[in-house]
């Protein structure tokens, strides 16, 4: 990601405000269908270049789509979104329904 696409200061503040929590990582598979999973292993690695670490098990159903995706999103959940974290933590066919 190029620095002209994001604000480095905003990224630093976002990383600094995230001690630990549950996230939902989402992307699109090669057929442009949404895929995603719940993760609590989200860690900032570097601001320059902007790097973060998300751990995905090689045995995960969405592993091929997640590792092939050009883009992904980190959705940081609030404590009121427990239902979302449970939905994305379970092996449902369509977590986006």
pLDDT tens, residue by residue, 54-89: 888 899 888 999 999 999 998 988 889 999 999 998
Beta strand spans in the chain (E): 23-28, 34-39, 42-47, 50-54, 73-76
Contact of 77 with 84, CB cutoff 8 Å? yes
What is the extent of the structural domain holding 79? 3-89
Residue 97 within any structural domain of the chain? no
Q: How many domains does the chain have?
A: 1
Say if residue 15's pLDDT is above 80: no
- The reply to whether the predicted model has a pTM over 0.85 is no
Please indicate, yes or no, if residue 80 is contained in any of the structural domains: yes
In a domain, 58, yes or no: yes
pLDDT(4) > 70: no
**What is the distance between the alpha carbons of residues 97 and 76, in angstroms, rounded to a whole number?**
19
CA–CA distance, 50 with 9 (Å, rounded to integer): 11
C-alpha–C-alpha distance, residues 73 and 90, integer Å: 19
Report the CATH number at residue 33.
2.30.110.10
């Amino acid at each position: 990601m190029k620095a002209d696409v994001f604000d480095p200061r905003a990224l630093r503040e976002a990383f600094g405000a995230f001690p630990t929590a549950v996230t939902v990582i989402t992307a699109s598979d090669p057929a442009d269908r949404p895929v995603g999973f719940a993760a609590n292993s989200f860690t900032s690695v570097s601001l320059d270049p902007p790097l973060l670490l998300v751990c995905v098990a090689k045995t995960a159903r969405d592993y091929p789509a997640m590792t092939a995706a050009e883009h992904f999103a980190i959705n940081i959940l609030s404590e009121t979104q427990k239902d979302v974290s449970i939905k994305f933590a379970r092996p449902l066919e369509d977590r986006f329904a």
